[in-house]
Structure 1
């Protein structure tokens, strides 16, 4: 009984660590990008360029994609290979194995 509780504890702790890691990643992303956007704003406020022309938004965009993948992993969001897909594939493969074993009997 204690062994099961310890396994549940370790699983829950791992999930909490993943969440904490994601939130730290998100806060760093927001902090760095606010700093970058503020610098761009200060750079263009007295010039003829618009904010969007002067901006270097590669960091914001590509790091944002990384944040989305990190969130999908952390919150177990997978629209392509979800639980239903797994269960259907498992059933299909089990049925194929059953049919194949009948051939050789």
Structure 2
């Protein structure tokens, strides 16, 4: 019974990870497909002011942050951090209940 539970949990985490990676690549694809349109609209409507650069940079930073999260590159706010924080909150709640 325990083995099936562990396998099921591993499968769930793998499935969740694949969905996160897929969402990142969809986000990146939309960025790549939409930004040429934004550039063309900018150049056709107001070539004197290239505002598309702000769109590229802002959305590009969001893509980078999304990628860092999906591929667990930042040392903060990853799954291990979440687990530690959950345990910390539960321990804090348990200690408060003992004082009541």
TM-score (norm 2): 0.64
CA deviations 1:47-92 (Å, max 9, x no partner) are xx5xxx532121111110010000000011115x5xxxx8xxxxxx
Would you say how many aligned residue pairs link Structure 1 and Structure 2?
75
RMSD: 2.4
Point out where structure 2 has 5 or more consecutive residues left out of the alignment: 82-100
Query: What is aligned with 2:24?
Result: 22
Query: What is aligned with 2:60?
Result: 64
Query: What is aligned with 2:72?
Result: 76
| Large movers: runs of 4+ above 6 Å | none
Query: What is aligned with 1:4?
Result: 6
Query: What is aligned with 1:34?
Result: 36
Tell me the distance in 1 between the aligned counterparts of 2:38 and 2:72: 30
3-state DSSP class of the match of 2:37?
Answer: helix
